[in-house]
Amino acid sequence: MSRFARKIRSRMSRMQSGLRIAYYRFMGVKIGRRVFISSGARLDVRRGELIIGDEVDIAHGSYILSHTGYKPLRLVQRTVIEDNVKIYVRAIILPGLTIGRNSIVGAGAVVMRDVPPDVVVMGNPARVIQHRENEKLQN
């Protein structure tokens, strides 16, 4: 693929993400600046509260839930994605959780507990496999 075609594809992808973000904001989701939501990502906006920080990337096929259908909704069930989080392909984040700042949710991870800041989580259920402070020290 030529550089020109890649540039066009990238711009189209950003435009689609912008439209998706505008829709989710209209539906009541609090979304920060410089967020990218892929075309196949799904955010649950029917009940509960969903907050997404700045510079978050959400990849294709990911699901971020704000409620469960089988339990009555607690008064304030809040799902929070803090700043600079990367959520990779087909990750699932269950309702009422917080994903800490600068964390990475690996492909296919099912997050069932709060994720601390500066870690990489993977697996089903998701577990911490690496602390990113070590990564920063090595660079």
| Distance in angstroms (rounded) separating the CA atoms of residues 56 and 4 | 26
CB 42 within 8 A of CB 71: no
> Active site residue: 44, 58, 66, 67, which one?
67
Please give the Cα distance from 106 to 87 (Å, whole number).
7
Sheet strands side by side (includes 78-81) = 30-31, 49-52, 78-81, 98-99
Q: Measured between alpha carbons, how far is 57 from 54 in angstroms, rounded to an integer?
A: 9
Active site residue 67: yes
- At 28 the three-state DSSP class reads coil
The catalytic residue positions are: 67
